[in-house]
Structures are given as structure tokens and as C-alpha cells.
Structure 1
Amino acid sequence: MDRERVLHAVASRGVRLPRQECVVSATRRRSLELPGGRRRTTAAARRGQDTFRKALVAEYGLICAVTGPAPAEVLEAAHLRPFATTERHRVEEGLLLRADVHRLFDSGLLTISPELVVHVAPTLLGHGAYSALDGRSLCVPRDHALDLKAVEEHYATTTATW
């Protein structure tokens, strides 16, 4: 076995190996506790986010628009147009999404086409749970309140980065 070729192959796949000086002997264990504590910050709080979520629950029920029925504790109110840009909560520009799906949606790794079909970024297609979402129809009623122009904008902006 060629040690250098193996190390190169492992590193090229994103696997990080411990440096020699970081390897701890069996007799001396290092602490796994990380520094903690608190720091003071000043942040602008969003007004109306909880009311926005309640309005989306009233409109769509406890259903993730991408994955289907879900416990209330994991459903979040997502904005098709970023709140940071618009500073508005419009039900027709919102979706209820499961927390992990919301993170992908906001990170530009998942979007919805104007035909209301879910699309997943090519980089996620190797992840079974998320690649299974690609091509699914959105779980919204036929008489949905979605602003299709906002859906189209999100889709165009997101897929342009893929």
C-alpha cells in the first residue's frame, strides 16, 4: 500500500485525520469540555414572526409544505422573500416548513418551481432523505394563497446559484 496515495485519497474526500501531536495516549485523556459562558449582545428582534406562523398554521394546518404532516414543534414559518429585505410578513409569501427543510430553503439548497414542484440542489442528491424530496409536488391545497410571483423569484434566485 502506498501511504501517500492513501492519505491523498482520504484528504480529497474531505476526511480530516488527526495531526500526530493531537493523538492522545491511552493513559492521558484530554477533556471533552468546550469553553462556555455568556456574552452580551444587542440584536434587533423580529416583530410578528409568531403571529405569521400562527396565520400559516390557520391557512395550511400542521403540514410541512414539502414533507407533509408534522408535529407543531418542528414546523417553522418560512418567507419566500427574505424578511431581512422586505421586513413584511405576508401569508401569501409564506410556507410552513419542517426545521431542517427550512434551513435548506433559506440556504439555497432547496426551492419550489412555479409549477409547485420541489427541487433540491445537485449537491444534496447524494443524501437519500433529501434527494427523495426532489420532484415532489408541494403539499398545499388547490385554493392555496401562495403568491406565484414570489415562488418564481425564489426559484430563479436559488437555482441560479446551482
Structure 2
Amino acid sequence: MTAWLMLAKDGSKRIGEGYDDNPATHYSWDDTVPNHAAVKVGDVIALWDATELLGLSVIEDIGLGQAEKKTPYCLKCRKADVAERKKKLPRFVCWNSECKHESDEAGWKDKKVITYRSRHEAGWIPARGTLMAPELRALCVKPKSQNSLRELRWHDFQQALAHGSVPLPLRIIDTAHQTIQSGHGTATIRVRKGQPAFRKQLLDTFGEVCAFTGPAPIQALEAAHLYSYAANGKHHKGGGLLLRRDLHRLFDLGLIAVNSNTKTLHLADGLKAFPDYAKLHGASLAVSVTPDHIRWLNQHWAMHRAATDTDLLT
């Protein structure tokens, strides 16, 4: 599996406008960026802000386009290797090793570029607090690289995430990769299209009730899809429950699952260290569910507890 560390930080991708990033859903770059064409559908995308890892996912789609952008160049050597300083003066410095010219001004020219935009919302796993900048740089194929797109040593990166101080469940990444590689479309975890209507339908069915904990303020309730992968992206019958926002995220990650035989909650051992969550382990669902719900809950269980009924996510 190929993995890329991509910088997602305002003003970090040299000078120029037109980048459109939302770490949890999409990331954009163009053909002025080294490695721009090496990134493929099915690759792992790991986004950081130059300080820490923000999260990771699998690229479901890469949209191509064309645009014009203003690019800077050095007024001395005329090459487009200019960086803008945020604090130190002079404002611009040439990165050309044979030039290194510093100036308060830079030249600008219009350039046609090919644009790339990844879509990767499906398997997104938030990861703040797991790996910091020095660790991430060390896990790159070229640790001293300054590029915005850097290839990671996937196996070492995976091990660092699985065995760090804040271990992450990576089964979602593996399943998303396998699904994409097999040629099946993914709509996974949170299908945004039609989400308001889906939530209203669940509120009409269950009322203002979190399926895991009971009555809750409507502002805290989200429409949670019980299935992780749906080829057509539709909101399936019996495929949703209302969950408190924090429980929704933990359910998506597989840290909470539902044993459909007993209709009780099963928590990853890591959650049991937190008293408010620990008391949910073994608790019964707070709502009545249909055979359709059970079918989707079984699929969620198979994805996150497939190998054994013991907790695999510790």
C-alpha cells in the first residue's frame, strides 16, 4: 500500500491562491507540486499541519481540472523557486541553491496548471495527538524532504499508529483500500447527500433519543449510518440510528459496536479507561430496532469484530 504525507496548512504551499483543502473530506494540489502525478486512487492520504498528524484516509477519487494561477519568480535568477517569509525580512527568498537572492519584491506571471482534488471522506480517521512533526518526518521515504507531498514508509507508519501512545484502529483504512482496489464504489460511514432529510426521518421514528444512552438534546444528536460501505450512496431502510455526536464518531471508528444477538454495546478496551464510556459496555440499546437494523449492525460488527468476539481494537 502506498501512503502520502500531505501538508494542509494555510499559506504553506508556497505562494499562490486556488488551493481548496478540508482535511476530513478533500485535498487539492496542482502540477507545480513535486509528486503531483504519483498519487493514485486507493493510496492512503495522511494530512498534517507541519506540527502534528491531523488524520488519515484512503483516496476514493481524484478529480482533474485546469486553472490559471499567478506564480512568483526570483527577480535575479528568473526562476520560480521563491518562498514568502511570514516574519523575517526581506519578504521573499529564492530557494535556488545557486542564487538565494533576498528581496522585498518578487516577479509574478500567469501560468496554466493541471489541478488535482482528492475525495477521501469515506474512511477518514481523526488523528490529532498521535504523531508529531519529528516522528512524521522520520517516517517519510525521504525524511529531509521539504515537499508538500511526501511518500511515507507505509508499514512503519502503520506500526507507529497502531502502537503509539494513542493507538488508532486501522481496519477502516484496510477495508476502504480493499474495496477501492476491487473496483467497488464507496460511499461509506457518513453519506452527506440527503443527510438533513435522513436525520428528520430518524427523529420522526425515534424521537430525541440517542440509541446508546437514551433521551438527549436534539442539538447533540446526529444521524449515524450503521453501514460502512454502500455502493450507491443511498440511505438504506433500517440503516440508521440517532447517536450523540461523540458516540457517533466512536461507532464509526469501531470503538463501539453492537452485539446484535444480545442487543448490547461492546466497547474497545481503550474506552473502558474512561468512566463515562466504561459504563456503556454491556448496556442494552435504548431504542427498539428492526430486522433491517440488525442486518446492518451485523455488517458493522463483522467489519470491526470479524476475527474474534474479543476486543481487537486495543
TM-score (normalizing by structure 2) = 0.37
Please tell me whether the aligned partners of residues 83 and 89 of structure 1 are also in contact (alpha carbons under 8 angstroms).
Answer: no
Going from structure 1 to structure 2, the CA distance change for 1:146 and 1:93 (only over 3 Å counts) comes to same
Q: Cα–Cα, structure 1 residues 88 and 157, in superposed 2: closer, same or farther, change >3 Å?
A: same
Which amino acid in structure 1 is aligned with residue 198 of structure 2?
F
Q: In structure 2, give the amino acid aligned to 1:57.
A: L
Change (3 A) 1:91 1:70: farther
User: For residue 123 of structure 1, what is the aligned residue in structure 2?
Assistant: 270
Instruction: Give RMSD over aligned pairs.
Output: 2.6
- Higher relative CO (Cα under 8 Å, sequence separation at least 6) belongs to 1
Contact kept? 1:93, 1:150, Cα under 8 Å: yes
Which one has a larger percent strand, Structure 1 or Structure 2? 2
Structure 1 residue matching 2:238: 3-state secondary structure:
helix
| Equivalent in 144, 153, 156 of residue 302 of structure 2 | 156
Contact 1:62 1:72 in 2 (8 A): yes
Matched, 1:40 2:51: no
Give 1:144 deviation, angstroms.
4.0
Q: 2:224·2:241 contact (CA, 8 Å) conserved in 1? A: yes
Runs of 4+ with deviation above 6 angstroms: 35-38
CA contact (8 A) 2:202 2:241 kept: yes
Alignment of 1:72-83 (within 5 A): 72-82=218-228
Q: Secondary structure at the match of 1:155?
A: helix
C-alpha deviation, 1:104, in angstroms:
0.3
Structure 1 distance, partners of 2:300, 2:201, is 21
The amino acid across from 1:129 in the alignment is: D
Q: Which amino acid aligns with 1:100?
A: D
Q: Which residue of 1 is the match for residue 236 of structure 2?
A: 90
1:71 equivalent in structure 2: 217
Q: Which moved more, 1:37-46 or 1:116-125?
A: 37-46
- Give structure 2 stretches of 5+ with no counterpart: 1-8, 12-16, 27-118, 120-190, 307-311
> Given that residues 56 and 91 in structure 1 are in contact (C-alpha distance below 8 angstroms), is that contact kept between their aligned partners in structure 2?
no
Question: Contact between 1:52 and 1:90, CA under 8 Å: does it hold in 2?
Answer: no
Q: Which has the larger radius of gyration?
A: 2
Q: Distance in 2 between matches of 1:86 and 1:129?
A: 37
- Name the structure 1 match of 2:200: 54
The count of corresponding residues between Structure 1 and Structure 2 is: 127
Contact 2:228-2:300 at 8 Å conserved across structures: no
Kindly state the Cα deviation for residue 114 of structure 1 after the two structures are TM-superposed. Answer: 0.9
Q: Which residue of 1 aligns with 2:72?
A: none
Q: Does 1:102 align with 2:82?
A: no
Cα displacement (A) at 1:146: 4.2
